[in-house]
């Protein structure tokens, strides 16, 4: 993996930051605006990251296995030159995207902005930076999405499965978040997620709904009240709710009913929500989401 450093500021090694992944998708402007919101709300510096896919734009084409072609070798040389030129142009385009994103952030009131461009694999790049990431912001939909048909980013699920930092996944349009809901199942890992959320400034003071999918029992309500007490540092108005049914439609329905801006989820043990998050339903949820999702890992 290669990292391009020309005109790119390096990150301080001892500072947690908001990192926004910038690409050529329609979600890129919203990624910038949500990242600006999070940076100001959390009072953290912001880094813009663009990763140039090594497979699509190899910095140095690999011609191994193509020797012994005689007169056709000059064609391989020409193809290699074309690949190098494409990679060079893609890097320049990436620099322009970062510059435009930085201008958008400045207009949104963010003064401390850093830019990084890497040539390699997105997940590997993020894992290399993970120690210094407080919140990762990415678009829900990839560069191949059109106005009429939305596709989740081709690398999004790999990033979700690999990262251990909170990820804010955003739609194509920005709207200032004013409320949030946490999908909760009462497991030990769910309580660790609540603990993590209580220590984060990103939702401080924001009205919060704690929603459990399952049967309404005294034990379930006791778990919700325990979680509510743990969230006291947020100084938020908290609403507790237990709804029965299938996870995805229940969460969507509750979010729509109360017009909640952000859905917060985590990978919780072997519960229904973990199977929901990491199973086949993930693609459906990410594809149909019209509002931001925060994934806690």
- Homologous superfamily assigned to 2-58+88-170: HUPs (3.40.50.620)
> What is the mean pLDDT of the segment spanning 33-38?
94
Express each pLDDT in 120-133 by its tens digit: 888 999 999 999 99
Q: What is the pLDDT of residue 83?
A: 64
Express each pLDDT in 229-275 by its tens digit: 999 999 999 999 999 998 888 989 999 999 999 998 875 344 555 54
Q: How far is CA 170 from CA 185, 211, 289, 297, in A?
A: 24, 21, 9, 17
- Comparing 179 with 163, which gets the higher pLDDT? 179
The dihedral through the CA atoms of 246, 153, 114, 125 has a sign that is positive
Q: What is the pLDDT of residue 101?
A: 87
Q: Is the per-residue pLDDT at 199 higher than 70?
A: yes
pLDDT-based confidence at residue 6 (cuts at 50, 70, 90):
very low
Q: In angstroms, rounded to a whole number, what is the distance separating the alpha carbons of residues 49 and 23?
A: 9
What's the CATH class of domain 180-296?
alpha beta
Q: In angstroms, rounded to a whole number, what is the distance separating the alpha carbons of residues 262 and 289?
A: 10
Q: What is the pLDDT of residue 58?
A: 55
Q: What is the pLDDT of residue 229?
A: 96
Q: Is the per-residue pLDDT at 74 higher than 70?
A: no
> What is the mean pLDDT of the segment spanning 57-77?
56
- Comparing 143 with 206, which gets the higher pLDDT? 206
> What is the mean pLDDT of the segment spanning 159-186?
90
Q: Where are the alpha helices (DSSP H) in the chain?
A: 28-42, 73-107, 122-129, 156-162, 188-198, 218-230, 247-257, 272-278, 281-288
> What is the mean pLDDT of the segment spanning 29-45?
92
SS (H, E, C) 45-91: CEEEEEEEECCCCCCCCCCCCCCCCHHHHHHHHHHHHHHHHHHHHHH
Q: Give the start-to-end residue ranges of the domains of the chain.
A: 2-58+88-170, 180-296
> Would you say the CATH fold of 180-296 matches that of 2-58+88-170?
yes
Percentage of residues in the chain having pLDDT higher than 90: 35
pTM: 0.80
pLDDT-based confidence at residue 201 (cuts at 50, 70, 90):
confident
Q: What is the pLDDT of residue 148?
A: 46
Percentage of residues in the chain having pLDDT higher than 70: 72
Q: What is the pLDDT of residue 75?
A: 66
Residue 283: which of 153, 165, 180, 177 has the closest Cα?
153
Residue 270: which of 206, 168, 179, 187 has the closest Cα?
187
- The pair of structure tokens assigned to 158 is 């790999």
Q: Is the per-residue pLDDT at 137 higher than 70?
A: yes
> What is the mean pLDDT of the segment spanning 84-104?
77
């Amino acid at each position: 993996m290669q990292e391009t450093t020309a005109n790119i500021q390096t990150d301080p090694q001892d500072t947690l930051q908001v990192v926004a992944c910038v690409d050529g998708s329609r979600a890129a402007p919203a990624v910038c605006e949500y990242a600006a919101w999070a940076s100001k709300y959390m009072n953290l510096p912001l880094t813009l990251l663009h990763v140039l896919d090594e497979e699509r734009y190899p910095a140095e084409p690999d011609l191994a296995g193509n020797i012994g072609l005689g007169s056709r070798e000059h064609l391989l040389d020409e193809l290699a030159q074309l690949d190098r030129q494409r990679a060079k142009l893609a890097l320049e385009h990436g620099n322009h995207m970062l510059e435009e994103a930085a201008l958008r952030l400045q207009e949104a009131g963010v003064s401390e902005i850093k830019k990084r461009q890497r040539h390699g694999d997105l997940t590997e790049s993020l894992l290399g930076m993970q120690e210094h990431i407080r919140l990762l912001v990415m678009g829900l939909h990839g560069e191949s999405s059109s106005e009429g048909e939305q596709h989740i980013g081709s690398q999004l699920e790999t990033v979700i499965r690999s990262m251990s930092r909170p990820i804010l996944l955003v739609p194509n349009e920005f709207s200032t978040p004013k409320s949030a809901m946490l999908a909760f199942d009462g497991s030990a890992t769910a309580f660790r997620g609540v603990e993590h959320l209580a220590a984060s400034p990103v939702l401080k003071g924001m009205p919060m709904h704690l929603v459990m999918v399952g049967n309404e029992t005294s034990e379930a309500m006791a778990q919700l009240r325990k979680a509510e007490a743990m969230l006291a540092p947020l100084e938020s108005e908290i609403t507790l709710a237990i709804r029965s049914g299938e996870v995805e439609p229940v969460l969507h329905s509750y979010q729509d009913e109360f017009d909640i801006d952000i859905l917060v989820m985590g990978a919780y043990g072997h519960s229904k929500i973990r199977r929901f998050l990491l199973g086949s339903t993930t693609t459906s949820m990410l594809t149909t989401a019209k509002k931001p999702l925060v994934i806690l890992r």
